[in-house]
Amino acid sequence: MNLKQKIRVIEDFPKKGISFKDITTLIKDGKAFKQAIKSMAEIIQHKEVDLITGPEARGFIVGAPLAYELGVGFVPTRKKGKLPGKTVEAEYKLEYGSDIIEMHKDAIKPGQKVVVVDDLLATGGTIFSTVELVER
C-alpha cells in the first residue's frame, strides 16, 4: 500500500501558498494507519529507545501509538499554558507564524534515549524546538 496516496493535499491552507498535508485521510483508514505505525516502528525497533515524544496535536496521533507499538513511554509536547506543573519551553517558527511549545521539566531524565516524531515536516521548526526541549 502506498501511504503517500492516503494523504490528502489541500492547497492554500491555512493561507495562500501553503500545501497542507491532511493526514486525516490516512488515519481514518485502519489498515493504512496500522501500516504507517508499523513502518515507523520497524525503522527504530532495533535502536535503544526509552521514550517517544511528539508535538501537539498531530505528533500525538503518531507518537502515542508508536510508543505503544514499541512498548515505551510517550511524552507530549504542548502549546504554552496547556501542561500543569513546571515546564521548559521553546519558540518555533511555522510556515505562517510562530508559537511556543512546552514539555514537563521532569519528563525526560539525563541519558534517556528519546525519539521525536511528528506527522510530517514542513519547516522543521516544531521538530527542532522539540529536540531543544529534549536536550534540556
Domain boundaries, the chain: 3-135
Average the pLDDT over 99-123 and give the result.
Answer: 89
Is the pLDDT score of 80 beyond 80? yes
135 has catalytic annotation: no
pTM of the predicted structure, to 2 decimals: 0.85
Cis check: omega of the bond before 14, within 30 degrees of 0? yes
Annotated active-site residue 95? The verdict is: yes
> According to the model, what pLDDT value does residue 90 have?
93
Cβ–Cβ under 8 Å, residues 10 and 20? yes
Q: Residues 11-64: pLDDT tens digits? A: 998 888 888 889 999 999 999 999 999 999 999 999 999 999 999 888 999 999
Q: State residue 122's pLDDT score.
A: 62
Any idea which residue has 521514550 for its cell? 51
Tell me what percent of the residues of the chain surpass a pLDDT of 90. Answer: 71
Contacts of 99 (CB under 8 A, 6+ apart): 79, 80, 91, 92
- The one catalytic residue in 8, 91, 95, 136 is 95
C-alpha cell belonging to residue 53? 515524544
pLDDT band per the 50, 70, 90 thresholds, residue 124: low
Residue with the larger pLDDT of the pair 74 and 120? 74
Catalytic position from the list 11, 58, 89, 136: 58
- The CATH class for the domain spanning 3-135 reads alpha beta
Q: What is the mean pLDDT of the chain?
A: 91
Single-letter amino acid code for the residue at 37:
I
